[in-house]
């Protein structure tokens, strides 16, 4: 028997939780999360959330900074809308109980980050994301109109395809009727019919061997929408954080904040050379993408696994006082940052592209919305301005809730959807096939589709990925579902999209850099 709900929300980060709380005022909400409700990218956000709050900052300055960071590839209409609606959404977060740090005069303690020309980052110490996650999820748990299902994995979106019709990407009337959801604890697949479906599944960091993202970030939403024949765009724009602590096997990777370089730490290669001066006159303080590319080149040229961040020339007492978390994390690995250099490596951090949506967060599939990191709204262009992603998530969650709620009365459940078929499947005998292919996908993307790309590397990546795709599809057809298998399949889909879109862009633009086309040739907007 299929279950029915007005809104099905897939994902419990800032985007999914905000949408759920607003939609619950208009109808019944199912909120599902593939693990616990609080294990999200949102929880790990450190810096904060950008918004214009006081003079001398202005909306115009925030718009300009965003477009500049995005290399002019942003959609200016979207940038203006998001930046101007952000302050109202911040006030709502505060009214829901999120406590941003304030100065002694009562005004917000606004931080300034790379690329921002003004102080405009609201934060709570260095754990803003955790506070937002905790506050919103507590409200969601208590809301009488919201049912929360943890350990429930959305496998596929339901469209006319499941009614036996031919659905291809040129069809303009594809409609979403809900999703097939796998209860990973009880190993049951249920059909959840919804009037409105919201994909809020976050990013794709686990496509790479080193990432700041938690293990949940496997691009499930993008892969589901792609399989349902929705449009995906700008997947080649992946932001790598230049300095995560080199500690193989640790997931997520521990971030070494840019503030440490701002404080005087310098990057050195394995020969002790301050190599950044060869790449940019600003040395270790060059922008994120330039530093990440320089580190990548040094590692590839020398065959090294990491470079060093050196703080040993800085005053030890001040260093420890200002960076207590980094000090204690490094000490736990027997690295005393006042005496030893810190081994660092770039890590996949944020996806600028994703599911193409309109100004209200609706995808190219009717009644299917995508919000948060999974969406490509046009805000970030070819590179994201720091702390603009949490802001984008709350603005679009609000817009999507308002826009979709207006459709509830005129939308009916599609009741002729068949149940999930288990025919021909058995329990997997060898999980090693899944885990090995998962690692191989990460290796292919890290080695060939990382920070610096070339036609040769992309072509090789595609051919290698195709072999794993065929093996995995074969396994998927005959094996009973598991979360790992579904995630592997989704990562392969997402990896394919990254490679395809990177191959099609014959220029270097923002986060996409290729040695075969080192210059920029096109202006989109």
Ligand X SMILES: Cc1cc2nc3c(=O)[nH]c(=O)nc-3n(C[C@H](O)[C@H](O)[C@H](O)COP(=O)(O)OP(=O)(O)OC[C@H]3O[C@@H](n4cnc5c(N)ncnc54)[C@H](O)[C@@H]3O)c2cc1C
The candidate with the shortest Cα–Cα distance to 405, out of 369, 364, 357, is 369
* Catalytic residue (one of 89, 120, 261, 288): 288
* CA-based radius of gyration for the chain: 23
Q: Is 48 in the site for ligand X (CB under 6 A)?
A: yes
Output b/e per residue, 131-165; b: 16+ Cβ within 10 A. Answer: bbbebbbebbeebebbbbbbbbbbbbbbbbbbeee
Measured from the CB atom, the residue of 119 and 171 that comes closer to ligand X is 119
Token pair 């290399």: residue: 71
Give the binding range for ligand X (CB under 6 A) out of 135-143, 354-362, 384-392, 402-410: 384-392
Cα–Cα distances in angstroms (integers) from residue 473 to residues 156, 307, 480, 490, in the given order: 15, 38, 13, 11
> CB of 394: closest distance to ligand X in angstroms?
9
Nearest to ligand X of 41, 159 (CB atom): 41
Q: Mask of contacts with ligand X, 210-229, x by CB under 6 A?
A: --xx--xx--x---------
* Number of Cβ atoms within 10 Å of the Cβ of 234: 24
Instruction: Give the rounded distance of the alpha carbon of 114 from its chain centre.
Output: 19
CB of 469 to ligand X, least distance (A): 19
CA distance 143 to 30: 11
Q: What's the closest the beta carbon of residue 454 comes to ligand X, in angstroms?
A: 28
Q: Is 196 in the site for ligand X (CB under 6 A)?
A: no
Residue 304: which residues within 8 A CB-CB, separation 6 or more?
269, 270, 298
Any idea how long the chain is? 525
In the complex with ligand X, the residue whose CB is nearer, 15 or 417, is 15
- Dihedral of CA atoms 129, 131, 133, 136 in degrees, nearest 10, equals -140
Nearest of 510, 512, 509, 511 to residue 520 by alpha carbon: 509
Nearest distance from C-beta of residue 14 to ligand X, angstroms: 5
Does residue 16 touch ligand X according to CB under 6 A?
A: yes
Per-residue binding string, ligand X, 344-383, x by CB under 6 A, is ------x---------------------xxx---------
As measured in angstroms, the least distance from the Cβ of 69 to ligand X is 13
Of 50-109, binders to ligand X (CB under 6 A) are none
Return the number of the residue (67 or 394) whose C-beta is nearest ligand X.
394
Q: What are phi and psi of 180, to 5 degrees?
A: -85, 125
Only one residue has tokens 């051919």, namely 463
Out of 13, 178, 230, 242, the only residue in the binding site for ligand X (CB under 6 A) is 13
Binding mask 147-186 for ligand X (x = CB under 6 A): ------xx--------------------------------
Residue 35 in the binding site for ligand X (CB under 6 A): yes
Question: Six-digit token pair at 403?
Answer: 């826009």
Identify the three-state secondary structure at position 158: strand
Whether 288 is a known active-site residue: answer: yes
265 sits near ligand X (criterion: CB under 6 A): no
Q: Which residues are catalytic?
A: 288
Point out which residues bind ligand X (CB under 6 A): 10-16, 32-35, 40-42, 44-49, 129, 153-154, 200-202, 212-213, 216-217, 220, 255, 350, 372-374, 387-390, 393
């Amino acid at each position: 028997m299929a279950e029915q709900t007005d809104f099905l929300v897939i994902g419990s980060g800032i985007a999914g939780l905000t949408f759920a709380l607003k939609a619950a005022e208009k109808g019944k909400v199912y909120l599902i999360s593939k693990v616990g409700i609080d294990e999200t990218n949102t929880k790990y956000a450190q810096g904060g959330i950008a918004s214009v709050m006081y003079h001398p900052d202005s909306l115009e300055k925030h718009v300009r900074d965003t477009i500049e960071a995005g290399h002019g590839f942003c959609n200016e209409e979207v940038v203006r809308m998001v930046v101007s609606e952000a302050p109202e959404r911040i006030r709502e977060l505060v009214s829901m109980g999120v406590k941003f740090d304030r100065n002694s005069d009562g005004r917000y303690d606004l931080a300034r980050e790379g690329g921002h020309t003004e102080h405009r980052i609201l934060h709570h110490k260095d754990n803003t994301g955790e506070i937002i996650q905790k506050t919103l999820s507590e409200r969601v748990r208590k809301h009488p109109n919201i049912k929360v299902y943890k350990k429930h994995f959305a496998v596929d979106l339901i469209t006319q395809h499941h009614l036996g019709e031919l659905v291809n990407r040129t069809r303009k009337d594809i409609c979403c009727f809900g999703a097939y959801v796998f209860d990973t604890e009880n190993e049951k697949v249920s059909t959840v019919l919804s009037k409105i479906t919201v994909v809020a599944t976050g990013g794709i960091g686990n496509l790479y061997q080193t990432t700041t993202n938690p293990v949940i970030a496997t691009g499930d939403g993008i892969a589901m929408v792609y399989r349902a024949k929705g449009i995906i765009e700008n997947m080649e724009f992946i932001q790598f954080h230049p300095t995560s602590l080199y500690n193989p096997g640790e997931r997520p990777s521990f971030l070494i904040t840019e503030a440490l370089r701002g404080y005087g730490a310098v990057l050195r290669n394995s020969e002790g050379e301050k190599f950044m001066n060869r790449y940019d006159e600003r040395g270790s303080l060059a922008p994120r993408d330039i530093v990440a590319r320089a580190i990548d080149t040094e590692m590839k040229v020398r065959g090294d696994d990491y470079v060093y961040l050196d703080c040993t020339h800085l005053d030890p007492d001040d260093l420890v006082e200002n960076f207590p978390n980094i000090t204690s994390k490094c000490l736990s690995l027997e690295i005393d940052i006042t005496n030893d250099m810190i081994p660092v490596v770039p890590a996949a951090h944020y996806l600028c592209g994703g599911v193409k949506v309109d100004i209200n967060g609706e995808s190219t599939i009717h009644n299917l919305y995508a919000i948060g990191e999974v969406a490509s709204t046009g805000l970030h262009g070819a590179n994201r301005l720091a702390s603009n992603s949490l802001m984008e998530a709350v603005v679009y969650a609000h817009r999507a809730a308002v826009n979709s709620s207006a459709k509830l009365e005129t939308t009916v459940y599609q009741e002729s959807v068949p149940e999930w078929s288990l025919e021909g499947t058995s329990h997997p005998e060898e999980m090693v096939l899944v885990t090995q292919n998962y690692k191989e996908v990460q290796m292919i993307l890290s080695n060939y589709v990382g920070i610096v790309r070339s036609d040769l590397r992309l072509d090789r990546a595609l051919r290698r990925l195709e072999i794993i795709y065929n093996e995995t599809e074969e396994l998927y057809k005959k094996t009973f579902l598991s979360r790992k298998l579904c995630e592997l399949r989704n990562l392969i889909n997402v990896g394919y999209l990254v490679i395809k879109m990177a191959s099609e862009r014959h220029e270097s633009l923002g986060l996409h850099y290729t040695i075969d086309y080192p210059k920029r040739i096109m202006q989109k907007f």
